[in-house]
A and B are shown apart, each in its own frame.
Chain A
Amino acid sequence: MYLLDLQGVSKIYGSVKALQGIDLTVARGEWLAIMGPSGSGKTTMMNIIGCMDKPSEGKVLLGGVDISAESARNLTTVRREKIGLIFQQFHLINYLTALENVMVAQYYHSMPDEQEALQALARVGLSDRAKHLPAQLSGGEQQRVCIARALINYPMLVLADEPTGNLDEANEGIVIDIFRKLHDEGSTIIVVTHDPEVAEEAQRTVILEHGRIARIVENRKGGQEAKV
């Protein structure tokens, strides 16, 4: 059984067809990249997979459960329980420390646990920056806090939207390394990106054009290299 199964998914905004008849499956533990030019439907697809939007047509099965017809309240629960979101803009709460930003996700999931949050920060190499406010962290460090927050509740699926879009090369490398490590540990990762080098790290790359899947590329580097 696939972890994620999109069956004929379409999203229509008035006269604009953002997604048209998308059929896609993602296996557990797979690392998938989604690429495409602006307006190709990447963000719409991410929103639907991330339970932040619903398809106009088709089915989305996550862990075998059809979530395409769920209420907004149930989708919130699915997001909380099963999905870890990583954003290009980091979206950290600027009046909370790095540690507290991670604990917020715990707070809305179950209960805040400082030790566990510190461990999550340690996993992304930020144990010494736990008490810093976002404004005191570099872009790369903020993105790592965002990753720690996404991972803190052990999600079924890690969904990253342009995770390296705002980072320099050095920080991009650090983030990619973290994804590799996650993949090695068995996490399922979907990365939406513009960057071919980031996409190559994944096992497969889905190329979207005009709301349709133009092609799916099996990457040599992705997965295999990480496993070596």
Chain B
Amino acid sequence: MRNGVLNKVIAMFWRLVRGALFRQKRKMLMIAFTVALGASLATAMLNVMLDVGDKVNRELKTYGANINVIPKEASLLDDLYGVSEGRGVSDRHLRESELGRLKTIFWAFNIVDFTPYLNAEARMSGLDEAVRVVGTWFAHREDLPTGESLDTGMRNMKSWWSIEGDWLSDGDTDAAMVGGLLADRAGLAAGDAVVLESAGARRELTVKGIFEAGSAEDERIYVPLSVAQEMTGRPGLVSSVEVSALTTPDNELSRRAAQNPKSLSVKEWETWYCTAYVSAICYQIEEVLTDAVAKPIRQVAESEGTILEKTKLLMLLITILSLAGAALGISNLVTAGVMERSREIGLLKAIGAGNAPVSWLILTEILITGAVGGAAGYFAGLGFAQIIGRTVFDAAINIKPMVIPLVAILVFLVILAGCIPSIRLLLSLRPAEVLHGR
């Protein structure tokens, strides 16, 4: 019996809603379109915002490493005396054979590239002073302890270098790449021969490429790691390793941990260790490399964090502004609709409808319209996100399921906010005035 009554009441309510929806098709379409516009921008921005961390990080990785790994004693001398090269420093080395372990740490997936360096001093033909010779990997395939392999090296990590000639490959043991400034002083061009002498060893190499790095590297000669190891008599050793890692921007926890991980509680330590903070990755690198100290290159790591935060803030602001715009649009359209329907609303009040049932009726109409617009906007937003991803990052944006409830809640709140002025107008309508046109 009670169910029968309820069914009749609900059926009548839907008759009223359906009638209003179909009668005002154009206005409802406009409201749906406004909601769709806001929802699409919110969907696109939220999806991009949630995925932008990795995308921006990967973009920034093309501008170099953010972690430098050096032997422990060398680090100590650097910390105490600011000495990074010289006797007692260059004596300490890392083992080349251990470098594959970098891809076994907890955040192994975040280690994008790494390359070792072995520094040596040598005399170069045509110049009086000694020059810095650096042995490194150019395009190295590293077999990892996990059974996988990784293509890494200078070519990936110094992608912004301007090269005249060609990059070296690791097999070019009779060739070198010379920095632009050094090449100018020595009068070298690609294809010339150059003789290097170090510790009594003499090596004749062909200049395969001349590079412009825009830094102190322009004064150096780069050779395959094996050549430098042979020249210095340090087989299997490297002076330092540059690591390019995807990191999470620092916060108060990571800064405390960077100073002293032991100052953290067990729970804090777990949170820190399991978050891709640069300090956590450094800590994990130190765990796998013998007598190594990993230090973040602060200006890179912090710039990355700042750029990321600002990019996210920008997207959040666009989302908020687009939703505010949608709310204003909805507000105008619904208020105009209520004004147009004032006689109908006045009649409902005159025959005994309270403010609440009439408000619910209008809200239901707008929420149904908004839900249709929101759903259309969500799918359009997925398309916008992909366009942004392809245009800006040259990669697809991963669709985040958590955006669906977020957009649903935002659309709901925007519709409610947009309806406030019209509901206020509706509450103020007096049947005597609207029915008699006063």
Chain A contacts to B: CB under 8 angstroms: 43, 47, 50, 52-53, 73, 76-77, 79-81, 85, 87, 89, 91, 93-96, 100, 103-109, 111-113, 149
Contacts and interface: CB of A to CB of B under 8 A. Distances in A.
Contacts of B353: 76, 80, 108
B354 A94 contact: no
Interface in B5-34: 5, 8-9, 11-13, 15-16, 19-20, 22-23
Interface centre among B11, B13, B19 (most CB of A within 10 A): B19
Contact of A100 (B9, B15, B344, B357): B15
A111 B5 contact: yes
Contact of A112 (B9, B348, B352, B435): B9
Contacts of A106: 12
Contact of A79 (B8, B343, B351, B430): B351
B352 A80 contact: yes
Return the 4 tightest CB-CB contacts between A and B, nearest first: A80-B352, A95-B19, A52-B432, A95-B23
Given A104-B16, A112-B8, A76 B348 contact: no
Contact of B12 (A47, A77, A89, A104): A104
B347 interface: yes
Contacts of B355: 73
Given A52-B430, A111-B5, A105 B12 contact: no
B350 A79 contact: yes
12 contacts: A47-B436, A76-B353, A77-B352, A79-B350, A79-B351, A79-B352, A80-B352, A85-B351, A93-B347, A95-B19, A108-B351, A108-B352
Interface of B: 5, 8-9, 11-13, 15-16, 19-20, 22-23, 343-344, 346-355, 357, 430-432, 435-436
Contacts of A52: 350, 430-432, 435
B22 A108 contact: no
Contact of B435 (A81, A87, A105): A87
Given A91-B350, A100-B12, A107-B12, 11 more contacts: A76-B354, A80-B353, A89-B435, A91-B343, A96-B15, A100-B19, A104-B16, A106-B12, A107-B13, A111-B5, A113-B8
B432 A91 contact: no
B19 A108 contact: no
A105 B357 CA distance: 13
Most chain A CB neighbours (cut-off 10 Å) among B8, B12, B19, B355? B12
Contacts of B23: 94-95
A104 B344 contact: no
A79 B22 CA distance: 30
A43 B11 CA distance: 36
Given A87-B435, A94-B23, A95-B19, A103 B12 contact: yes
B367 to A, nearest CB: 19
B352 A93 contact: no
B351 A73 contact: no
Given A81-B352, A107-B13, A95 B22 contact: yes
A107 B435 contact: no
A57 B13 CA distance: 39
A108 B354 CA distance: 8
B140 to A, nearest CB: 75
B366 to A, nearest CB: 17
A149 B5 contact: no
A110 B354 CA distance: 13
A95 B18 CA distance: 9
A133 to B, nearest CB: 10
